[in-house]
Amino acid sequence: MTRKDKILVTGATGHYGYAVIESLIENGVNESSIYALARDHTKVEKLKSLNVNIAFGDYNNYGSMLKVFSGIDKLLFVSSDELENRSEQHIQVVNAAVKSGIKDILYTSQEHKEVNFSLIESIISSHLATENAIKGSGINYTILRNGLYMDILPSFLGKNIFKYGIYLPAGNGKIGFALRSEMAETAAKILISTGHKNKTYSVSGDSYSFSEIAEYISQITGKNITYLSPGLDAFLNTVIDQGMSKKCAKMIGGFAAATRQGELESNGLQMEKLLGRKPLTVKQYLEETFICNFLSSAG
C-alpha cells in the first residue's frame, strides 16, 4: 500500500472489524487513512476513541454504499451476519465497489472443503456467491477463508461439560479454530503489505477432533471429560429438549456435522506465514483462557 491509500473496514462496530482497525493502527497506519463503516449511529462511541474516520452505510442500501466508497482505495469487506438475504446484500456491495473505482477488495469468506452435500450449505453458498461476484468484478481481490473463531469453542463444548462431557455430532472429524483477534491481525497485515493480488487464503489454525479436545481438557483439569457423538437428529432433539434455542442448536449441530464429513479441516500453515508467527493453538487456548474461566464459573 502507499502512504496515501485510504482503507475502509466494514463491520467496524463488530468484533472482527474493530480488531482489524486496532491492528492497522498498531502496525503504524495513520488514523486519518482509516475509514470505519458503521450502520448504527448509537454504536460508534468505542470507534470514536480510535480517532479514525467514521462512515455510515448499510449493505442493503446501495446508495449509501456508493457514498461511503467514494475515494476509497482498499476495502476490507466483512461478511454480514444476516443469513437470509446475504448473497443479494453482498452482491450490491460488490457492485457499489466497482462503480466507485475501488482498487483492492479483501473479503472475509469461510474456510470449507467442497463436498457433494454441505451440512452448512446456507452459510457457504452466500460466501461462494460473493467470492464469485468479486472475482468477476475486475477489482484486485484477496479472499480470506476464515476458519472458525476459537472464541466460540465454548459454545460447542456447552456449559455442562464437567457434568456430561462433550456431546456433538462431529464424529472423528477435525475442525480448524483460530482466535478472532489473530484472524483480524492477519487481515490487517495483508492490507498493509503487497503480494496478495487475486489470492485466496486459508486463515485458520491447525485442526483438532473433539476427542482430542476432550483429552486436553481432561489433562488440564484432572477430570475425566468424555466425548459422545450422536447423529445430527438425535443431537438436535436432545439439546432442544434441554432448552437450547432451535437456531443455536441448528447452527452448532450443522457445523459439528460438517466437521464429521471433513468440511472444516484445515492446517495453520498459511495463517502462520501471513501472521508472522504460529497462531495460538486450541491446546494453549484451553490452558490459558477457557479452563480458568470455566473453573471459576463452575465454582
Ligand X SMILES: NC(=O)c1ccc[n+]([C@@H]2O[C@H](COP(=O)([O-])OP(=O)(O)OC[C@H]3O[C@@H](n4cnc5c(N)ncnc54)[C@H](OP(=O)(O)O)[C@@H]3O)[C@@H](O)[C@H]2O)c1
Our CA angle for 239, 263, 204, nearest 5°, is: 100
Closest CB to ligand X among residues 45, 81: 81
Rounded to a whole number of angstroms, the minimum distance from the CB of residue 115 to ligand X is 18
Stretch that binds ligand X, among 72-80, 187-195, 207-215, 256-264 (CB under 6 A): 72-80
Binding status of residue 60 toward ligand X by CB under 6 A: yes
Total number of residues binding ligand X (CB under 6 A)? 25
Of the candidate residues 20, 21, 55, 59, the single one contacting ligand X (CB under 6 A): 59
Q: Which of 23, 126, 146, 186 binds ligand X (CB under 6 A)?
A: 146
C-alpha cell at 131: 467470492
With respect to ligand X, which residue has the nearer C-beta, 78 or 166?
A: 78
Does 268 bind ligand X (CB under 6 A)? Our answer is no
Query: Nearest-CB residue to ligand X?
Result: 14
Q: Binding to ligand X by residue 265, rule CB under 6 A?
A: no
Among the listed residues 9, 36, 72, 80, the single contact to ligand X using CB under 6 A: 80
Q: How far is the CB of 110 from ligand X (least distance, A)?
A: 6
Residue from 33, 108, 118, 126 binding ligand X (CB under 6 A): 108
Is residue 43 near ligand X by the rule CB under 6 A? yes
For residue 219, the minimal CB distance to ligand X (Å) is 25
Q: For residue 290, what are the contacts with CB-CB under 8 A and spacing of at least 6? A: 153, 154
Is residue 109 a contact point for ligand X (CB under 6 A)? no
Write out the residues near ligand X by the rule CB under 6 A. Answer: 10-11, 13-17, 39-40, 43, 58-60, 78-82, 89, 108, 146, 148-149, 152, 180
